[in-house]
Structure 1
Protein backbone atom coordinates (compact mmCIF):
# COMPACT_ATOMS: atom_id res chain seq x y z
CA UNK A 1 0.00 0.00 0.00
CA UNK A 2 1.26 3.46 -0.90
CA UNK A 3 0.80 6.76 0.88
CA UNK A 4 -1.63 9.33 -0.33
CA UNK A 5 -0.29 12.82 -0.89
CA UNK A 6 -1.85 14.00 2.39
CA UNK A 7 -0.38 11.07 4.33
CA UNK A 8 3.06 11.88 2.92
CA UNK A 9 2.71 15.51 4.01
CA UNK A 10 1.46 14.40 7.43
CA UNK A 11 4.45 12.05 7.84
CA UNK A 12 6.82 14.93 7.12
CA UNK A 13 5.51 16.98 10.05
CA UNK A 14 4.15 14.46 12.55
CA UNK A 15 7.32 14.18 14.63
CA UNK A 16 7.44 17.97 15.03
CA UNK A 17 3.77 17.91 16.03
CA UNK A 18 4.48 15.24 18.64
CA UNK A 19 7.42 17.20 20.04
CA UNK A 20 5.31 20.35 20.27
CA UNK A 21 2.54 18.52 22.14
CA UNK A 22 5.05 16.95 24.54
CA UNK A 23 6.54 20.38 25.22
CA UNK A 24 3.08 21.85 25.76
CA UNK A 25 2.36 19.11 28.30
CA UNK A 26 5.53 19.89 30.20
CA UNK A 27 4.76 23.61 30.16
CA UNK A 28 1.26 22.98 31.49
CA UNK A 29 2.58 20.72 34.24
CA UNK A 30 5.01 23.45 35.30
CA UNK A 31 2.21 26.01 35.29
CA UNK A 32 0.09 23.66 37.43
CA UNK A 33 2.89 23.38 39.97
CA UNK A 34 3.19 27.18 40.09
CA UNK A 35 -0.57 27.64 40.52
CA UNK A 36 -1.22 24.80 42.95
CA UNK A 37 -3.09 27.07 45.37
CA UNK A 38 -5.38 28.62 42.71
CA UNK A 39 -8.16 26.08 42.22
CA UNK A 40 -9.80 27.85 39.26
CA UNK A 41 -6.51 28.22 37.39
CA UNK A 42 -5.52 24.67 38.27
CA UNK A 43 -8.81 23.34 36.91
CA UNK A 44 -8.33 25.20 33.62
CA UNK A 45 -4.75 24.02 33.29
CA UNK A 46 -5.79 20.42 34.00
CA UNK A 47 -8.37 20.61 31.22
CA UNK A 48 -5.76 21.96 28.81
CA UNK A 49 -3.35 19.21 29.88
CA UNK A 50 -6.01 16.54 29.36
CA UNK A 51 -6.69 17.90 25.86
CA UNK A 52 -2.97 18.02 25.02
CA UNK A 53 -2.46 14.45 26.26
CA UNK A 54 -5.42 13.22 24.20
CA UNK A 55 -4.07 14.97 21.10
CA UNK A 56 -0.63 13.48 21.78
CA UNK A 57 -2.08 9.97 22.06
CA UNK A 58 -3.88 10.45 18.73
CA UNK A 59 -0.67 11.68 17.08
CA UNK A 60 1.26 8.66 18.39
CA UNK A 61 -1.40 6.31 17.04
CA UNK A 62 -1.27 8.07 13.70
CA UNK A 63 2.53 7.93 13.73
CA UNK A 64 2.39 4.17 14.29
CA UNK A 65 -0.02 3.78 11.37
CA UNK A 66 2.06 5.93 9.02
CA UNK A 67 5.34 4.32 10.08
CA UNK A 68 4.12 1.06 8.55
CA UNK A 69 4.25 2.72 5.14
CA UNK A 70 7.70 4.17 5.83
CA UNK A 71 9.09 0.65 6.29
CA UNK A 72 7.79 -0.56 2.92
Structure 2
Protein backbone atom coordinates (compact mmCIF):
# COMPACT_ATOMS: atom_id res chain seq x y z
CA UNK A 1 0.00 0.00 0.00
CA UNK A 2 1.32 3.42 -0.92
CA UNK A 3 1.43 6.31 1.53
CA UNK A 4 1.67 9.99 0.65
CA UNK A 5 4.83 11.94 1.38
CA UNK A 6 4.82 15.65 2.19
CA UNK A 7 8.26 17.20 1.83
CA UNK A 8 9.46 20.76 2.11
CA UNK A 9 12.71 22.58 1.65
CA UNK A 10 13.64 26.18 2.19
CA UNK A 11 16.73 26.70 0.06
CA UNK A 12 19.22 29.03 1.80
CA UNK A 13 16.67 30.83 3.95
CA UNK A 14 16.39 30.54 7.70
CA UNK A 15 18.44 30.53 10.86
CA UNK A 16 19.37 28.14 13.65
CA UNK A 17 16.41 29.38 15.66
CA UNK A 18 14.07 28.79 12.72
CA UNK A 19 15.31 25.20 12.26
CA UNK A 20 14.77 24.33 15.92
CA UNK A 21 11.38 26.05 16.02
CA UNK A 22 10.20 24.40 12.79
CA UNK A 23 11.20 20.90 13.86
CA UNK A 24 9.73 21.37 17.35
CA UNK A 25 6.42 22.54 15.84
CA UNK A 26 6.38 19.68 13.32
CA UNK A 27 7.00 17.16 16.09
CA UNK A 28 4.10 18.59 18.08
CA UNK A 29 1.66 18.82 15.16
CA UNK A 30 2.53 15.39 13.74
CA UNK A 31 2.24 13.52 17.04
CA UNK A 32 -1.12 11.96 16.13
CA UNK A 33 -0.76 11.81 12.34
CA UNK A 34 -0.61 8.41 10.64
CA UNK A 35 -0.64 7.31 7.02
CA UNK A 36 1.46 10.17 5.67
CA UNK A 37 5.23 10.59 5.80
CA UNK A 38 6.72 14.03 6.38
CA UNK A 39 10.21 15.06 5.29
CA UNK A 40 12.24 18.24 5.46
CA UNK A 41 15.27 19.23 3.42
CA UNK A 42 17.07 22.07 5.20
CA UNK A 43 20.00 23.98 3.71
CA UNK A 44 23.26 22.06 3.93
CA UNK A 45 24.55 24.22 6.78
CA UNK A 46 21.56 23.20 8.97
CA UNK A 47 21.33 19.47 8.15
CA UNK A 48 23.20 18.31 11.26
CA UNK A 49 21.13 20.59 13.49
CA UNK A 50 17.89 19.37 11.91
CA UNK A 51 19.04 15.76 12.28
CA UNK A 52 19.51 16.21 16.02
CA UNK A 53 16.26 18.16 16.41
CA UNK A 54 14.29 15.46 14.55
CA UNK A 55 15.96 12.52 16.33
CA UNK A 56 13.41 10.12 17.77
CA UNK A 57 10.58 11.45 15.59
CA UNK A 58 9.09 10.17 12.34
CA UNK A 59 10.33 13.22 10.42
CA UNK A 60 12.45 12.15 7.45
CA UNK A 61 15.52 14.23 6.72
CA UNK A 62 16.58 15.00 3.17
CA UNK A 63 19.03 17.34 1.51
CA UNK A 64 18.29 19.95 -1.14
CA UNK A 65 19.75 19.45 -4.59
CA UNK A 66 22.78 21.57 -5.35
TM > 0.5 between the two?
no
**Which has a greater percent of strand?**
2
- Structure label with greater radius of gyration: 1
TM-score, normalising length: structure 1: 0.36
